[in-house]
Structure 1
Amino acid sequence: MAAAAGSRVSGLLGRSRLLSQPMSSGAHSEEGSARMWKALTYFVALPAVGVSMLNVFLKSHHGEEERPEFIAYPYIHIRSKPFPWGDGNPTLSVTLM
């Protein structure tokens, strides 16, 4: 029974036009694909960047919230070995300044 069902399915798949066509990376030609990505860039990506920039701008001017005071807990800056520059103690950003 399973063999009959398997042969029926393989027969249906063999006659399918979708499976007889070669699989490619896309259904569009190169020009169509380039046009699609160009449109996506202009109509999706750039407006998304603009909305994100507007959100950051409005949030930064909305109101300044004070940060909580920094507490230097002893487990925050644990170093198991020295840094490979200078005397090994300061971070690279402090060393470059």
Structure 2
Amino acid sequence: MAALGRLSHALLRSPATRNRRHLSAAAAGGHGEQTARTWKILTFVVALPGVAVCMLNMYLKEQNHSHEMPEFVPYSHLRIRSKRFPWGDGNHSLFHNSHLNALPDGYEGHDD
């Protein structure tokens, strides 16, 4: 029994075991800090300027966009109402926009 105790004690003091413990402790301490720093730098250098460029692009495109109502063309295959919608007056879709979505007979409040 004493020999088993000495053998286990010798194995615990072996250089391979000490190096393994040292490497795992080093990996746990420094790796997370460096990763967090990298993502923080990427956020400020890549992500935030990317969002700013996208917002500027959207703003400039909106400035050049015309806000006129498109011309109504009564195509026979569009705006078919074979059954009334179950809400409202039955003629307007659920997400109806009176400026952009025409009814079967034309735009609302727009007389030609």
Do both proteins adopt the same fold according to a TM-score greater than 0.5, normalized to the shorter chain?
Answer: no
The alignment's TM-score, normalised by the length of structure 2, stands at 0.37
* Higher Cα radius of gyration: 2
The alignment's TM-score, normalised by the length of structure 1, stands at 0.42
* Greater length-normalized contact order (CA 8 Å, ≥ 6 residues apart): 2
